[in-house]
Amino acid sequence: MKWLQKHRARSMVVPGLEKHGAGSWLPEAEMPAALPIAQLVYPLRYDIVVRMRLFEAYAAERERYRTDPAAFVELACDHDYHIWFERVMMVRRADYIAHHHLTPDDIFTDCVHQAAELYESIVGSGFDAKRPIVPFTGREILPADSGAVSAEQYFPGDGCHRLACLMSLGHTTLPATFFRIKRFDRLQPFDNTRLLREHLDINWPDFAKWNS
């Protein structure tokens, strides 16, 4: 099993997101009919925009990847995706990574290869509704770990690469068949935009204007 798959298999709950309570699936009767992607991502999760742009870069370089995957990994090393990897992935997953035998370069390479496989799977076979994206919500929504306050009700949880891939393919809304919501007693969202702000020029795509 690949590194990212092993990591995801450990739990559907991202460490640090829930304050207390194991969380439970939102009852079907309370599920929204659809989720606007902009409201999930903006303004706390610019890391998902960075991942979307890697998928866009992959779409433009699919032939290069087919003939020379290592060349695309090298290209990704100069992409904002590598800054996401260093400043978000390595920070948020530091405890788990410290106990893993792979080097950061190995893990990054694996992430890029899995992103390519995910893109080809969704383009070739469509989104796999058996592996839905899992947004999080809470009976009480706390300020983000940066102190930022959001008026939103739902926040990215599991499946952020899948969400980013859909964004790269032009999706602006998640239909109900694409997601399943997990609810906690108290939820503190991550502010990953904060982790990237000092290292990247934050350049939101047009969908951010939907919130204005």
Residue 16 domain-assigned (yes or no):
no
Domain boundaries, position 159: 23-201
Q: Is residue 38 part of a domain?
A: yes
The pLDDT value given to residue 6: 52
Task: Say if 78 falls within a structural domain.
Answer: yes
Distance CA 135, CA 31 (A): 11
Whether 208 is covered by a domain: the verdict is no
What distance in Å separates the CA atoms of residue 59 and residue 116, rounded to the nearest whole number? 9
Q: Which H or E element spans position 138?
A: strand 134-141
Q: Which two tokens stand for residue 102?
A: 């792979």
Count Cβ atoms within 10 A of the Cβ of residue 13 and give its class: 0-12 exposed, 13-18 middle, 19 or more buried: middle
CA torsion through residues 181, 179, 197, 72, sign:
positive
The reply to whether 130 falls in a domain is: yes
Please list the pLDDT of the chain residue by residue as tens digits (212 residues): 454 555 444 444 454 555 556 799 999 999 999 999 999 999 999 999 999 999 999 999 999 999 999 999 999 999 999 999 999 999 998 877 777 778 899 999 999 999 999 999 999 999 999 999 999 999 999 999 999 999 999 999 999 999 999 999 999 999 999 999 999 999 999 999 999 999 999 999 987 565 54
Q: Count of domains in the chain?
A: 1
Res 9: pLDDT: 46
Query: Does 43 sit behind a cis peptide bond, omega within 30 degrees of 0 on the bond before it?
Result: yes
Supply 144's token pair.
């983000």
pLDDT at 53: 98
Which pLDDT score is estimated for 102? 81
In a domain, 206, yes or no: no
40 assigned to some structural domain: yes
pLDDT of residue 175: 98
CA 209 from chain centre, in angstroms, equals 20
Residue 9 maps to a domain: no
Max alpha carbon distance in the chain (Å)?
A: 50
